[in-house]
Amino acid sequence: MTGSPWHPFENGATIGRAGSEQGTIALDEEHGLGARISLEGDARVASFAITCGIYGWMLHTRFLGTEDEARTQYSLMKNAIAELLKAAEKNAEIDGGRQVLMEGCSKFIENFP
C-alpha cells in the first residue's frame, strides 16, 4: 500500500455533520484494512469525543475536555490502530490475525480508556 492507509471517510462528506455522540464531526478517517476513527466537538457528554472501531472487532469511544488533548489523543489512537491492523495482517497466515486482534483490541482499550 503506497501513501497513508488512512483516507477521509466518505470522501470527507461527514465533516460538519452530527456524529454518533451528537457532536459535530471535525475529523473522520477510514483505514484501508478496516477501521474508522472520528473526532467530534460539542459532543453530548463532553466537549470532545473520539469514536473508533476495527470493523467486526471493536468499537470504542473516549470523551475529552479540550481540543488540544482530543487532537493529540486522536493522532495517538489512529497510529495505534494502524499498528494493530498491520500486525494482524502480518499474522494473517496463522489464524487470519484473530489472536493479534483479540489481544490488541483489549490492550488498545486499556491504553486509551
Residue-by-residue pLDDT tens, the chain, 113 positions: 468 999 999 999 999 999 999 999 999 999 999 999 999 999 999 999 999 999 999 999 999 999 999 999 999 999 999 999 999 999 999 899 999 999 999 999 999 99
- Measured between its terminal Cα atoms, the distance across the chain in Å is 30
The pLDDT, as a whole number, for residue 99 is 96
Query: Residues with Cβ < 8 Å from 52, sequence gap 6 or more?
Result: 35, 36, 37, 38, 58, 59, 60, 61, 77, 78, 81
**Domain positions in the chain:** 6-111
Alpha helical stretches, state H, the chain: 67-90, 92-95, 98-111
The pLDDT, as a whole number, for residue 1 is 45
Q: How many helices (H) and strands (E) does the chain have?
A: 3, 5
Residue type, 11: N
Residues 52, 60: Cα–Cα separation, whole Å: 5
The pLDDT, as a whole number, for residue 3 is 82
